[in-house]
Amino acid sequence: MEKERFFGVNWQSMDAGMPPEMNSGAAAAAADQLPNSFLNLGWEQPMHHDVHFESALSSLVSSPSSNAPAGNDSVIIGELIGRLGSICNSGEVSPPSRYQSTNTSCYSTPLNSPPRLNLSTMDHQQQGRGGVPVPGNQMAAGKFSPFAADPGFTERAARFSCFGARGYPGLGGQFGLPEAGKLSRVSSSQSLKAVQLGASDNGKEVPVSEPERPETETRSKFGGEAEFGNSQEASSVSDRMTAVGAENNARKRKAASKGKAKGAPLSSSNMNPPKPSDGEKSDAKRCKPAETDGADKDAAVKPKTEENGDVGRKQGEEGNAKPPEPPKDYIHVRARRGQATDSHSLAERVRREKISERMKLLQDLVPGCNKVTGKALMLDEIINYVQSLQRQVEFLSMKLAALNPQLDFNMETLLPKDMHQALGQLPQQVYPLDMASTAFSYAQQLQGTPLQSLVTNSLDVQGSLNPLESSLRRPPTMQLPRLDGFADATSQLGNLWEDDLQYVVQMGLGQSQGTTAFSSQSMPVE
């Protein structure tokens, strides 16, 4: 059977037992390039069994419009779209994943990895999880090329995407039209693949997206989807897609995207566990708030998503209650009961958790913040604290300036012998042109010297001047020679730069120049 050829295990394993096999088979036949993946398009019977893929596609397009049965068509379409999108976006990191319609994730996965298609090992859960992320990224734009040539194909794909995209209103703006155009083309090709890849569960999860979605939106979805494609979310979405549900577009959207993603990954996950990680890596967002291995997630999702859209997902999930695949580069998020599990909300949840974690850190730093609850108040406290610290620095610097005349003499006494020794070494190290590196190395050595202990003690003990006092009592004569050397060094340094602070800054900058480590460090965005 054609379907077997294409869908492989997924197809058969699908609980829903997609009838559309015929359609998919036809489609598969038409598209030679499409690997036999499990493209469970789950297209309904209305899908004409056109041998020609294009015709099949058109039928796909039309069928959803003509009869929107449980939404299988839409699911399929959504899958296709997602796949296409994923292919397009392979590796593209779209801004907040939440904006990406889940569809794209679903879509991307299957499309992205044609090799995965062969996976049809259908566990859709597994595939959904692992495969999704990878395929998305894997799908390089190069894949598009073969498909791009078929304008009619693209049109159909676009239409498909429309179907799928229906549920995703927000996506349109993301990628822009030009990109969308490209995506649509790609997606069309991808969709074909996706259809084939369809992983059985994809077939089950009919893309909920309705056909009304404008193409652009679809495209943007793809972009977003691609991002998610790899994520397990996609897989979960694919599950949802099976649910078809009719439910809200949003829900469908998510389901579709997830379902698709799942479909793809399911098949591919088996094959390339590492790929998803690659895909994931490429996509920062992918860190899958989604989650836990696809299987786990699905399981978790299932109970929750009882809703219309969720139901489908659940069903898909249940079938796939498999052992979670080892997460690659995902940030695994365990969706709790009663929480939304779509990619958007998961990403948001991960983000919120990160933010709350940082806020807790800040709470420890800022004194007197324990009683304050609420982000606004906490932020107020933090702002006040930072301002007060800066004011303190200013005040102390004025105080030090006023005390300056005494500095000269006190510097000797201030520096404990050890510290002085350490500092004395510094100028010699600093002066060579290679000062940056030496200074840096010195700085690193500094931590191990007794100076560290001395300074640390003096600084750690709040207001404790014992160490310094002891140094004060030290006979300065011993330190004088060294201090002179140091003073000479500093004066020499002063001569070198007009600004008294320059050498400190230069050291820092020199380090950056002289040390590859610095330069290689990604400069934090200012």
Partner 1 sequence: MEPKSCSGDGNPSRNLHPSKPLMAANFLRCLSRIQQTATNSSVGSRSRRIRRAAYASMAYSAGHRRAWSWALLRKLRCRRVRPVILPRRPRIARPQVVIEIDRAEVLRKLVPGGTGMDYCRLLEETADYIRCLATQVRLMQTVTDSISS
Q: Which stretch binds partner 1 (CB under 8 A): 65-73, 242-250, 292-300, 351-359?
A: 351-359
x/- track of binding to partner 1 for residues 416-435 (CB under 8 A): ---x--xx--x---------
CA distance 375 to 145: 49
Dihedral, 270, 139, 144, 105 alpha carbons, nearest 10: 80
Minimum CB separation from partner 1 for residue 451, in Å? 6
- Number of Cβ within 10 Å of residue 331's Cβ equals 19
Nearest distance from residue 494's CB to partner 1, in Å?
Answer: 5
Question: For residue 291, is it left (φ>0), alpha (ψ between -120 and 50) or beta?
Answer: left
- Rule CB under 8 A: say whether 480 interacts with partner 1: no
Q: Is the separation of the CB atoms in 255 and 245 below 8 Å?
A: yes
CB nearer to partner 1: pick between 33 and 431: 431
The residue range among 107-115, 132-140, 203-211, 401-409 that interacts with partner 1, by the rule CB under 8 A, is: 401-409
In the shown chain, the binding pattern of residues 209 to 248 toward partner 1, with x for contact by CB under 8 A and - for none, equals ----------------------------------------
Q: How far apart are CA 457 and CA 253, in angstroms?
A: 60
Is residue 265 within 8 Å of residue 202, measured between CB atoms?
no
How far, in Å, CA of 199 to CA of 83, rounded?
11
Residue with the two structure tokens 């004066």:
491
When the beta carbons of 67 and 470 are compared against partner 1, the nearer one is 470
Q: Which is nearer to partner 1, 401 or 433 (CB)?
A: 401
Residue among 276, 293, 279, 312 nearest 202 (CA): 312
Contact call for residues 8 and 37 (beta carbons, < 8 A) = yes
Among 66, 145, 491, 516, binds partner 1 (CB under 8 A): 491
Nearer to partner 1, 145 or 388 (CB): 388
Q: How far apart are CA 308 and CA 312, in angstroms?
A: 7
Q: Which stretch binds partner 1 (CB under 8 A): 2-10, 215-223, 293-301, 504-512?
A: 504-512
Minimum CB distance to partner 1 smaller for 118 or for 490: 490
User: CA separation (Å) from 91 to 138, 166, 276, 409?
Assistant: 7, 24, 11, 62
Q: Which uninterrupted H or E stretch holds 192?
A: helix 172-197
Candidate ranges 175-183, 274-282, 311-319, 446-454; the one touching partner 1 (CB under 8 A): 446-454
Interface with partner 1, residue 496, by CB under 8 A: no
CB of 523 to partner 1, least distance (A): 6
Write out the two tokens for 256.
Answer: 């579709």
Burial pattern 180-198, b for ≥16 Cβ within 10 A else e, equals bbbbbbbbbbbbbbbbbbb
d(CA 288, CA 343): 8
Q: How far is the CB of 97 from partner 1 (least distance, A)?
A: 14
* Stretch binding partner 1 (CB under 8 A), from 126-134, 187-195, 200-208, 454-462: 454-462
State which of residues 446, 474, 482, 485 lies at the interface with partner 1 (CB under 8 A). Answer: 446
- One of 33, 452, 474, 485 touching partner 1 (CB under 8 A): 452
Q: Is 362 in the site for partner 1 (CB under 8 A)?
A: yes
Q: Which of residues 371-400 bind partner 1 (CB under 8 A)?
A: 376, 379-380, 382-383, 385-387, 389-390, 392-394, 396-400
In the window 41-60, what residues touch partner 1 (CB under 8 A)?
none
Nearer to partner 1, 336 or 360 (CB): 360
Instruction: Please tell me whether residue 500 binds partner 1 under the rule CB under 8 A.
Output: yes
Using the minimum distance from each CB to partner 1, give the nearer residue, 177 or 385: 385
The answer to whether 467 and 416 are in contact (CB under 8 A) is: yes
**Cβ 441 to partner 1 shortest distance, Å:** 12
Single out the residue of 295, 293, 280, 274 nearest to residue 332, CA to CA.
Answer: 293
In this chain, which of 23, 72, 235, 490 binds partner 1, going by CB under 8 A? 490
Among 366, 369, 435, 436, binds partner 1 (CB under 8 A): 366
| Separation of alpha carbons 395 and 59, rounded Å | 77
Instruction: State the nearest-atom distance from the C-beta of 454 to partner 1, in Å.
Output: 8
CB of 512 vs partner 1, minimal distance in Å: 5
- Cα–Cα distance between 107 and 116 in angstroms, integer? 13
Please list the alpha-helical segments (H only) found in 67-113: 72-88, 102-112
